[in-house]
Amino acid sequence: MTKRGVSRISISIPPDLLEEFDRAIKNLGYDRSKGIQVAMRDFLTENKCMYEERGMVAGAITIIYNHKVKGLEDDLTDTQHLHYNVISSTMHIHLDERNCLEIIAVKGEAKSIHNLAKKLMVRGVKQIKLAIVS
């Protein structure tokens, strides 16, 4: 049986994240509830595709990381070398004195690409995004 209506929840958010979120949703004409609903749907759709996809796929893994974290760049490079069979190309961009953006073009079995993305989420990686097209 499907539940109808709404559920009220309480969450804890750092103040700066909430301020940024409020600015973004205001630009879209959303209130907080609508903004959270859209974000949750996007998250669920992305993760459903990420973990249920099968077969040959192509896409990109985008990472933002703090290159000042000791050993992180070596760990990321070592992980990529272990998955050379699904990596087509990598682009490295310096964002500022501390942060780097890495874009990894991938092509191969979905399971192998998902495994690579999971292994790249290590201490010092601030954000990782996997975009898959089948």
Please indicate, yes or no, whether residues 42 and 85 belong to a single structural domain of this protein: no
Domain of 96: which CATH number? 3.30.70.1150
Classify burial at 58, counting beta carbons within 10 Å of its beta carbon; exposed 0-12, middle 13-18, buried 19 or more: middle
Please indicate, yes or no, whether residues 91 and 122 belong to a single structural domain of this protein: yes
Q: Is residue 29 part of a domain?
A: yes
Q: Is residue 78 part of a domain?
A: yes
Sign of the torsion angle spanned by Cα atoms 32, 36, 39, 45: negative
Please indicate, yes or no, whether residues 60 and 121 belong to a single structural domain of this protein: yes
DSSP state of 109: E
Which pLDDT belongs to residue 1?
A: 55
pTM of the model: 0.66
Which pLDDT belongs to residue 10?
A: 92
Residue 97 structural domain:
55-133
Which pLDDT belongs to residue 47?
A: 65
* Helix, coil or strand: residue 99: strand
- Structural domain tally of the chain? 2
Which pLDDT belongs to residue 42?
A: 77
Which pLDDT belongs to residue 132?
A: 81
Which pLDDT belongs to residue 46?
A: 65
Q: Give CA 84 to chain center in angstroms.
A: 20
- Residues of the chain predicted below pLDDT 50: none
Which pLDDT belongs to residue 50?
A: 58
Please indicate, yes or no, whether residues 41 and 75 belong to a single structural domain of this protein: no
Please indicate, yes or no, whether residues 46 and 65 belong to a single structural domain of this protein: no
Q: Is residue 106 part of a domain?
A: yes
Please indicate, yes or no, whether residues 64 and 110 belong to a single structural domain of this protein: yes
> How many C-beta neighbours within 10 Å does residue 3 have?
6
Which pLDDT belongs to residue 72?
A: 94
Which conformational region is residue 37 in: left (phi greater than 0), alpha (psi within -120 to 50 degrees), or beta?
alpha
